[in-house]
């Protein structure tokens, strides 16, 4: 039995997941792309060490920000865990705000290893020219990617060139439904409520020493490390002279915008999810689903 708890940031996904896991004896798998990194703590609003130890949890703090890790690796890791716990009949709770990672775990996303995390970009070629090249190699992928979306064009080129596989012949074999049956809820909140929670949470992060955490990380790792692209970290790095209040305002804004993107993704990519703005109602719903499955 797989339960998926998705939703926008600061909606209370983690605490719901832990409550549910304790109630039904489940295990928790992280689906939050920045909760992997053990160096990122304050700014990621990750569950505390105590919480993480209170039930079996996986894929939290499993990486250093200098480790190479991709959605391919994630897919492998999650599917391995699913295989183990499905067999032992223990409920699996997949929780996190990274919708693409949830999809890659549960749907027929065929990925190849060793594409690498970062695509080299020497900026010598224009967006239009890169896109033109992609059109020749993989017209299906090119049609789906806007020429200005340079990052995705480069990625698609790398996939086509290195894997001798194109979207065109790739998609023919895809299964459209999920590979595993699962029950999914999306946790959301009214904008006013969410705004208030985000602001409070961001303020708390500064009180807890987010600036210091960022400084410490910069002593040991390059500033372009992927983990430092996280909201909160990148704003502090980019604006060293801003006051705490200015940074809190900026980070809260970026977090609200992120929540909006999450909402759009979950709404359109998970049509069979049930939405809740109340954590307790979501909890009761999931408990009921669990009991029905027994």
3-class SS letters over 170-202: HHCCCCCCECCCCEEEEECCCHHHHHHHHHHHH
Q: Binding residue for RNA (CB under 7 A) from 90, 201, 211, 254?
A: 254
Does 70 engage in binding with RNA (CB under 7 A)? yes
Q: Binding residue for RNA (CB under 7 A) from 38, 64, 67, 119?
A: 119
Is residue 164 exposed (0-12), middle (13-18) or buried (19+ Cβ within 10 Å)? Answer: exposed
Nearer CB in complex with RNA: 111/218: 111
Q: Binding residue for RNA (CB under 7 A) from 15, 80, 83, 113?
A: 113
Does 134 engage in binding with RNA (CB under 7 A)? no
Q: How far is the CB of 270 from RNA (least distance, A)?
A: 11
Does 159 engage in binding with RNA (CB under 7 A)? yes
Nearer CB in complex with RNA: 75/183: 75
Residue span binding RNA (CB under 7 A) among the ranges 14-22, 28-36, 78-86, 207-215: 28-36
Does 92 engage in binding with RNA (CB under 7 A)? no
CA atoms within 13 A on the CB side of 140: 10
Q: With contact defined as beta carbons under 8 Å apart, do 93 and 29 qualify?
A: yes
Nearer CB in complex with RNA: 114/241: 114
Q: Rounded to whole angstroms, how far apart are CA atoms 33 and 71?
A: 9
User: What token pair was written down for 230?
Assistant: 């996280």
Does 201 engage in binding with RNA (CB under 7 A)? no
User: What token pair was written down for 170?
Assistant: 């790739």
DSSP string for 26-52: -EEEE--TTTTBTT--GGGTPPPHHHH
DSSP string for 199-255: HHHHHHHHHTTHHHHHHHHHHHS-TT-GGGGSTTHHHHHH-TT--HHHHHHHHHHHH
Residue span binding RNA (CB under 7 A) among the ranges 78-86, 117-125, 215-223, 272-280: 117-125
Nearer CB in complex with RNA: 174/284: 174
Does 146 engage in binding with RNA (CB under 7 A)? yes
User: What token pair was written down for 209?
Assistant: 């020493």
Residues of the shown chain interacting with RNA in the complex, contacts defined by CB under 7 A: 32-35, 43-46, 70-72, 97-101, 103-104, 107-115, 117-119, 121, 144, 146, 148-152, 154-156, 159, 163, 167, 171, 174, 191, 226, 229-232, 253-254, 256-258, 260-262, 264-265, 267-269
């Amino acid at each position: 039995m797989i339960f998926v708890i998705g939703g926008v940031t600061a909606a209370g996904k983690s605490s719901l997941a832990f409550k549910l896991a304790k109630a039904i004896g489940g295990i928790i798998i992280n689906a939050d792309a920045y909760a992997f990194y053990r160096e990122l703590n304050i700014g990621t609003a990750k569950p505390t060490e105590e919480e993480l130890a209170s039930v079996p949890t996986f894929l939290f703090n499993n990486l250093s920000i200098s480790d190479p890790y991709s959605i391919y690796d994630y897919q492998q890791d999650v599917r391995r865990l699913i295989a183990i716990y499905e067999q032992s009949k223990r409920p699996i709770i997949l929780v996190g705000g990274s919708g693409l990672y949830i999809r890659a775990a549960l749907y027929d996303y065929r990925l190849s290893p060793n594409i690498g995390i970062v695509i080299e970009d020497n900026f010598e070629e224009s967006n239009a020219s890169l896109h033109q090249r992609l059109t020749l190699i993989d017209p299906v992928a090119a049609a789906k990617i806007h020429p200005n979306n340079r990052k995705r064009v480069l990625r698609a080129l790398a996939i086509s060139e290195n894997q001798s596989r194109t979207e065109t012949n790739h998609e023919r074999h895809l299964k459209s439904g999920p590979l595993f049956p699962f029950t999914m809820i999306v946790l959301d909140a009214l904008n006013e409520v969410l705004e208030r929670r985000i602001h409070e949470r961001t303020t708390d992060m500064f009180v807890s020493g987010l600036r210091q955490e960022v400084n410490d990380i910069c002593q040991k790792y390059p500033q372009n490390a992927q983990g430092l692209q996280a909201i909160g970290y990148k704003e502090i790095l980019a604006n060293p002279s801003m006051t705490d209040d200015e940074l809190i305002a900026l980070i809260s804004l970026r977090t609200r915008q992120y929540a909006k993107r999450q909402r759009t993704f979950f709404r359109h990519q998970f049509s069979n999810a049930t939405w809740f703005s109340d954590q307790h109602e979501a909890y009761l719903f999931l408990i009921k689903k669990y009991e029905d499955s027994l």
